[in-house]
Amino acid sequence: MKKFWIVGHPLSFCLCTPVSNGAFKELAFDAEFETHDVAPDDLHLVMEKIRSGELAGAVTTMPHKTPALDLLDESSDEAKAINAVNLVLGHSPNGELPYKLKGYNTDWLGALGAVKSLIPDLKDKKILVLGAGGAARAAAYAFHKEGANVSIWNRTSERAKTFAEKMQITQIPDMRKWDGEPDIIINATSASYQPSQSTLVPFPLWKNVQLAMDAVYGKTSLFLEEANAAKVKHIISGDVWFLNQAAPLLEIITGNKAPLELMKKLTDEAVDIIKS
C-alpha cells in the first residue's frame, strides 16, 4: 500500500484525509492518507521519508506550502509561479532510490473551478484577493490567467507587493482608500480561522460584488456573514474550493479520473461532522 501524509502545523484534521481515502477505495487504488502535525523545522524529515520510499508523497498545508519548494528537485510551472506547492511526490525513471521530489500546485484549479461554476466568464472581472499566502497567490494566479483585473491586499503590505510585482497585478496598500469597486472578493487570509474576527472589507467595497468566497471550511466566518448582509448573490465556502483542488490532486496521484460525486458526498459529510 502506498502511504501519503497530509502535513501542516497546527493540524488536527484535514478534509483531504477522509475524502481522498474514500476516493482511493472507489478507484481500487491501494493507497492511504494519514494526517500529521509537522513543525516547520521537521518538514525536511517528511521529504526524506519520500526520498527513501517510506512515503509515496505528501500534501502540504499551512505553513509548509512555500518552504517545501526549497526541498524539492523540481516543481510544476504553476507551483513556480505561485511560489507554493500543495502536493509532493517521489519519482525515479528506473525506480532506484533515493527518489527525486517533484512539487505540484492544484490550489489555483480549486479557486478557479469554484468561481467559474457560478461565473463562467472572468475576463475583465474586477477581483479582489485578500491575503498573500499560498492559497491567496494561487487564487490571484488563476484569475490573472483568465484575463481578470486582479488586485491583492494583505495586512503585511510588503508580502502582497512582492507577489503583485511578480504577477503584474495591482497591490492595494489600504482598502479604506481604494475605490476599485470589485465584482468578486476572495478571502484567503487566516482571519476566518481565528476565534475573534474583525472586519476586513470596508462596507462600501461590497457595492458591486457578485460573488464572495472564503477559504475556510466547516464553519461560517465574519467575512461570509458580511457578504450575506451586503446581499451578495453568490457566496462560496471553502469546502467548494477544497473539492475543486482535491479532484485534480487525486488525478495526479492515481492517473485516473476522480470520482467527483463520491468526493462531494464525502466532503459534505465531513463538513457536517465539523459543524456539529
**What is the distance between the alpha carbons of residues 29 and 96, in angstroms, rounded to a whole number?**
22
**What is the distance between the alpha carbons of residues 215 and 125, in angstroms, rounded to a whole number?**
20
| ∠ Cα 115 235 166 (to 5°) | 45
**What is the distance between the alpha carbons of residues 41 and 61, in angstroms, rounded to a whole number?**
15
C-alpha separations of 191 from 60, 153, 154, 252 in Å: 20, 13, 11, 31
Phi first, then psi: give them for residue 36, nearest 5 degrees: -135, 130
User: Measured in whole angstroms, how far is the alpha carbon of residue 214 from the centre of its chain?
Assistant: 11
Q: Which residue out of 49, 65, 102, 219 is catalytically annotated?
A: 65
Q: Strand 211-214 relative to strand 184-187: parallel, antiparallel, unpaired?
A: parallel
145 catalytic per annotation = no
**What is the distance between the alpha carbons of residues 129 and 144, in angstroms, rounded to a whole number?**
11
**What is the distance between the alpha carbons of residues 263 and 237, in angstroms, rounded to a whole number?**
16
217, 148 Cβ separation under 8 angstroms: no
Supply 194's cell numbers.
Answer: 481565528
Q: Catalytic residues, which ones?
A: 65
